[in-house]
């Protein structure tokens, strides 16, 4: 009797929830990027440089620079803006970007915004933006019950557990930004309790066209659902509503005065004066196909496996979520035994925002270290260098996803070194041959690690952590509370590795 009452209650609840009505995929319009816009201000800006190769990039190490670069591309675009993100928050930096995108649409730029639907957002607000004649919004692999996402997940876990983790912004098909950052305060060194150390590259050249091609594949895929299918018949948001909200939020003031003034950044002056330092080199954009969420077949992992098989002398891996698995650990150990100099940088338990990941990673530490692999864990108290890092953030956390191979090759993108990135989420990355930048980064790395990370070693048969700045050695997870240690330990005995 109770089970029948429970089932009836669930059915009533589902009936009351707004849900996506099934539609014939052929009803969805297709659209594509317009190709390289040679008349765009962005094309003129980059072509002022001597062209030495097919692609070029500007490294975006700091959160403030990364936000400025995105705003600069948005404000410079004249024809098109395509954005693809896993997380797009509703905080100050996100609001600033949304406002600038709206302003671009108002001046005639076509804006396409493709968002993964794991994050709950304001459907009505997105539908009102989507009703603008120059703005289109689609959600990738959306939850079917909009107001009951837990029930949606419970009823269709296998599908909804697989997400689009790709991150890109493309302006006029002339420049793009690819890397690890989502859209939110913690990624851009703006007021947040946690500050992510992250990494993007701003691209020019053939890599931009490749990035635009992958966006089109996702935009037109079966899994991208137009907002008008989710909230049909919505009215366009009124311009006066946008302007009132902008004034209420003081968006102009927040980013032009005080600690968070764009004009204080070195990159701002470089962009104004045309003195940005570009690194040139052959580049390729690698990405999973959208149907990976159904097939679990990863084109990116296939390409990466071939690249890693060719490593000759050195390999530096930076991954915030590092779960190498037994087979991955053995592959790293084998590479170290054949003479490859391997350095792995990941989060400590205290700096990791997902302690379950740490619980499973910890199982493989000793094997890695005993094989001669240099293993470093970033401190929760690490300093994130940024002119805006006056935020009072209580904790730092590594979020960059990059590799440096044989001192010549840079790999940067959205992919973590874990089963979720390999098998469940779709991912993308750009691979660039650029020895000058890689060598500069490798030269800076020892001092950065000494200051901001613990070296993991084996002492008397057990794992220990060395703080090179103080000489102190720890025999348990440094900076982590007992409750966090217990949580990580308990997660490590649960059968969840393939979900991490």
- Which homologous superfamily is 285-499 in? Endonuclease Chain A (3.30.870.10)
pTM listed for this prediction: 0.94
Query: In this predicted structure, what is the pLDDT of residue 19?
Result: 74
Question: Edge to edge, what strands does the sheet with 200-205 contain?
Answer: 224-226, 135-140, 110-116, 80-85, 168-171, 175-179, 200-205, 55-60, 279-280
CA 398, CA 199: separation in Å to the nearest integer?
10
Tell me which residues are annotated as active site: 165, 167, 172, 399, 401, 406
Tell me what percent of the residues of the chain surpass a pLDDT of 70.
93
Q: Are 74 and 171 contacting, i.e. CB atoms less than 8 angstroms apart?
A: yes
Question: How, if at all, do strands 200-205 and 175-179 pair?
Answer: antiparallel
CA 282, CA 404: separation in Å to the nearest integer?
15
pLDDT digits (tens, 9 = 90+) for 227-248: 999 999 999 999 999 999 999 9
Query: In this predicted structure, what is the pLDDT of residue 51?
Result: 62
Tell me whether the CATH fold assigned to 30-273 matches the one assigned to 285-499: yes
Query: In this predicted structure, what is the pLDDT of residue 21?
Result: 73
Instruction: Parse the chain into domains and list their residue ranges.
Output: 30-273, 285-499
Q: Are 195 and 63 contacting, i.e. CB atoms less than 8 angstroms apart?
A: yes
- Computed over every residue of the chain, the mean pLDDT equals 91
The helix-helix angle for 92-106 and 239-249 (nearest 10°) equals 150
For residue 374, give every residue at least 6 positions away whose Cβ sits within 8 Å of its Cβ, in sequence order, or none. Answer: 341, 342, 343, 344, 455
Q: Measure the N-to-C terminal CA separation of the chain; round to a whole number of Å.
A: 39
Cα distances from 7 to residues 11, 153, 339, in angstroms, run 6, 17, 61
Question: Edge to edge, what strands does the sheet with 402-405 contain?
Answer: 283-287, 428-433, 409-413, 402-405, 314-318, 341-347, 374-378, 453-459, 462-467, 472-474
Q: Are 312 and 357 contacting, i.e. CB atoms less than 8 angstroms apart?
A: no
pLDDT digits (tens, 9 = 90+) for 45-72: 877 665 656 899 999 999 999 999 999 9
Q: Are 500 and 325 contacting, i.e. CB atoms less than 8 angstroms apart?
A: no
Radius of gyration of the chain measured on its C-alpha atoms: 23
Domain 30-273 - what CATH class? alpha beta
């Amino acid at each position: 009797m109770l089970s029948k009452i429970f089932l009836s209650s669930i059915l009533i609840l589902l009936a009351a929830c707004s849900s996506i009505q099934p539609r014939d995929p052929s009803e969805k319009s297709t659209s594509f990027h317009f190709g390289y816009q040679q008349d765009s201000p962005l094309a003129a800006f980059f072509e002022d440089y001597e062209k030495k190769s097919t692609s070029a990039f500007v490294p975006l190490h700091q959160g403030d620079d990364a936000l400025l670069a995105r705003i600069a591309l948005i404000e410079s675009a004249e024809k098109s803006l395509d954005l693809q993100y896993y997380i797009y928050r509703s905080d100050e930096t996100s609001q600033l970007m949304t406002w600038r995108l709206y302003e671009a649409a108002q001046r005639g730029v076509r804006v396409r915004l493709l968002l993964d639907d794991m994050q709950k957002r304001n459907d009505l607000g997105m539908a009102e933006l989507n009703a603008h004649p120059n703005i289109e919004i689609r959600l990738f692999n959306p939850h079917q019950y909009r107001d009951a996402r837990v029930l949606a997940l419970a009823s269709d876990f296998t599908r909804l557990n697989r997400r689009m983790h790709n991150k890109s912004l493309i302006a006029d098909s002339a420049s793009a930004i690819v890397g690890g950052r989502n859209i939110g305060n913690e990624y851009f060194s703006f007021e947040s309790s946690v500050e992510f150390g992250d990494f993007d590259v701003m691209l020019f050249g053939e890599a931009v066209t490749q990035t635009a091609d992958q966006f089109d594949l996702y935009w037109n895929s079966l899994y991208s659902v137009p907002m008008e299918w989710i909230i049909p018949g919505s009215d366009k948001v009124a311009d006066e509503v946008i302007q009132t909200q902008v004034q209420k939020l003081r968006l102009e003031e927040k980013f032009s005065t005080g600690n968070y003034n764009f004009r204080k950044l070195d990159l701002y002056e470089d962009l104004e004066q045309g003195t940005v330092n570009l690194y040139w080199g052959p580049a390729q954009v690698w990405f999973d196909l959208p149907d990976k969420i159904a097939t679990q077949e990863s084109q990116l992992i296939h390409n990466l496996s071939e690249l890693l098989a060719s490593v000759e002398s050195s390999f530096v891996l930076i991954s915030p979520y590092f779960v190498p698995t037994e087979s991955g650990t053995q592959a790293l150990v084998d590479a170290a035994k054949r003479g490859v100099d391997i350095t792995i940088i990941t989060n400590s338990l205290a700096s990791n925002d997902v302690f379950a990941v740490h619980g499973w990673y910890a199982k493989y530490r000793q094997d890695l270290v005993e094989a001669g692999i240099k293993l470093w864990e970033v401190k929760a108290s690490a300093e994130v260098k940024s002119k805006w890092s006056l935020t009072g953030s209580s904790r730092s956390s590594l979020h960059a996803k990059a590799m440096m191979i044989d001192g010549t090759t840079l790999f940067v993108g959205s992919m973590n070194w874990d089963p979720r990135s390999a098998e469940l989420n779709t991912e993308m990355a750009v691979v660039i041959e650029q020895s000058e930048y890689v060598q500069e980064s490798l030269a800076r790395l020892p001092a950065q690690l000494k200051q901001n990370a613990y070296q993991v070693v084996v002492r008397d048969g057990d794992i220990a952590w060395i703080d090179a700045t103080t000489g102190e050695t720890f025999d348990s997870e440094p900076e982590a509370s007992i409750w966090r240690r217990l949580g990580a330990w308990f997660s490590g005995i649960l059968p969840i590795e393939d979900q991490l």
